[in-house]
Copies of this chain bind each other. A is one copy, B any other.
Amino acid sequence: MELQDLDHTIALFRRWIEDKNYLDLKQQLTQLPVQDIAEILNQLDARSSLLVFRLLPKEKAVEVFAYLSEKIRTAFSQMIAEDELKSLVQDLFFDDKIDFLEEMPANVVKKILQRTPESERKLINQFLNYPDDSAGSIMTIEFVDLREEMTVAEALEHIRYTGPDKETIYTCYVIDHERRLRGAISLKDLVLARPEAKIKDVMTRDVLAVKTHEDREIVAALFKKYDLLAMPVVDQEDRLVGIITIDDVVDVLEAEATEDFQRIGGISPTEESYFNQNVLILARNRLFWLLFLMVSATFTGRIIQHFEDVLQGMVILAAFIPMLMDTGGNAGSQSSTLIIRSLALGEIKPRDAWRVLLREAGVSLVVGSVLGCLNLLRLIALEKIRVDIALVVSITLVATIFLAKVIGGLLPLTAKKLRIDPALMASPLITTIVDALALIVYFNIASFLLRL
């Protein structure tokens, strides 16, 4: 099946709303998955969206709410009565609740939390304080906890009783009376075990757990490596405080890749989608790098000014500047992009710098000699350029490719070593550096070989 295109359904919804045909609307709503309903609501105007939302049965409404965009949720929270909002938020899964509260302005949060029991309010505040990229910020508290002394049958009974409110029941965690993590058991193993066996005899004791402040990228890497569906999160005293599930990890992986794409494209990263940012925000996220690179490029211009005499003596040299700069930039981007991605996937580590250096040098010699020769032939045979000039251009080309690949390979590794995001060392920056070097090499070789 194709990913459902909802345009047709959205058009139908618009018509039904206009015709006040709530019967068909309600009927259609019962047949759509909550994610599709949320996608439709996100695209309607706030008023229509709220109208449709109110036609949903309570339970489904809560689920849909978790998938709505920040924009629509903010609009809802301004349009509906305080009590309605409170009761809605009350029924959200804990991690969705935190997500929503994070979006809301402080006064709304305060109102919503007003009549929440002290204990939950404390917990919510604790969760709101976890840094954005930490394990704590993506965990949930709805998990099944078992005790070592339970039998398998008792454990299954416990799951039957508490399970419906849990985010996952596929991995259950075993804790002692101080809530310290003692072990874990998958529902698969529980179902496959003898009902009278003790939990402590069937559980796994070596459980991979992370601390609340651990970087979410590390968490995602652990999920990938060990094919996990869930992972426990513990506090400084090893007490179990939450779990992270695979669906949230998928989001983290996507978000981290997106961040790298943005950095490589020379944009300040944001988690907002393209159409959710207005023109001024889009512009702001791009201005810093463009400005920084523009100023850097003026140094490249200075180099040309410095060699103005050489250029004045032979203006034809200017015609090859774009080709040399572009090829250098591209050769450097290839290396840096490859290394940045390999670092993100954990395939390369900073200590591999020497191996990368050798490899990139090798590649640049192969690539450089092929391109250098072809370029020499082309300039002489097709463009009828003087042989000495063609030589200058081709030698510069080979040298530029070598410098570009070595710098493009090593800068991301250096950044990683210095705990700077390697993705910052991407095409835009590499291009600027390589351009300057290419020109210095070019004019020096030219003034030497052509005696200018």
Contacts and interface: CB of A to CB of B under 8 A. Distances in A.
Interface of A: 1-3, 33, 35, 156, 159-160, 163-164, 169-170, 187-188, 191-192, 208-211, 214, 218, 221-227, 229, 246-247, 249-251, 253-254, 257-258, 260-262, 264-267, 273-275, 279-280, 282-283, 286-287, 289-291, 293-294, 297-298, 300-302, 304-305, 308, 311-312, 315-316, 318-323, 325-327, 329-331, 333-334, 336-342, 345-348, 352, 355-356, 359, 362-363, 366-367, 370-371, 374-375, 378, 401, 427-428, 431-432, 435, 439
B359 A439 contact: no
Contact of A262 (B156, B191, B341, B370): B341
Contacts of A322: 297, 300-301, 304, 321, 325, 435, 439
Contacts of A348: 274-275
A218 to B, nearest CB: 6
Contacts of A208: 1
A367 B283 contact: yes
22 contacts: A1-B222, A3-B346, A160-B191, A160-B192, A163-B188, A163-B192, A169-B188, A169-B191, A187-B188, A257-B257, A265-B334, A266-B334, A267-B334, A275-B347, A293-B327, A294-B371, A305-B316, A308-B319, A318-B318, A321-B322, A322-B325, A325-B325
Contact of A428 (B210, B330, B356): B330
Nearest to A277: B359
A34 to B, nearest CB: 9
Nearest to A397: B294
Contact of A308 (B262, B304, B315, B346): B315
Given A261-B337, A316-B308, A330-B266, A250 B223 contact: yes
Given A265-B336, A322-B300, A330 B367 contact: no
A188 B214 contact: no
Contacts of A321: 301, 304, 318, 321-322
Tally of this chain's copies? 2
B289 A330 contact: yes
A323 B301 contact: yes
Given A170-B187, A266-B333, A321-B322, 15 more contacts: A156-B191, A191-B191, A261-B264, A266-B334, A267-B334, A274-B342, A275-B359, A290-B367, A294-B326, A297-B326, A300-B322, A308-B315, A329-B431, A333-B427, A427-B427
Contacts of A223: 250
Contacts of A246: 229, 246, 250
Contacts of A257: 254, 257
Nearest to A346: B3
A375 B294 contact: yes
Given A254-B224, A318-B304, A342 B1 contact: no
B226 A35 contact: yes
A367 to B, nearest CB: 5
A279 B362 contact: yes
Contact of A431 (B33, B247, B326): B326
7 residue pairs, one from A and one from B, having the closest CB atoms: A265-B337, A300-B322, A283-B366, A297-B323, A279-B362, A297-B326, A257-B257
Nearest to A5: B349
Contact of A210 (B1, B229, B300, B308): B1
Contact of A250 (B250, B280, B342): B250
B187 A163 contact: no
A432 B273 contact: no
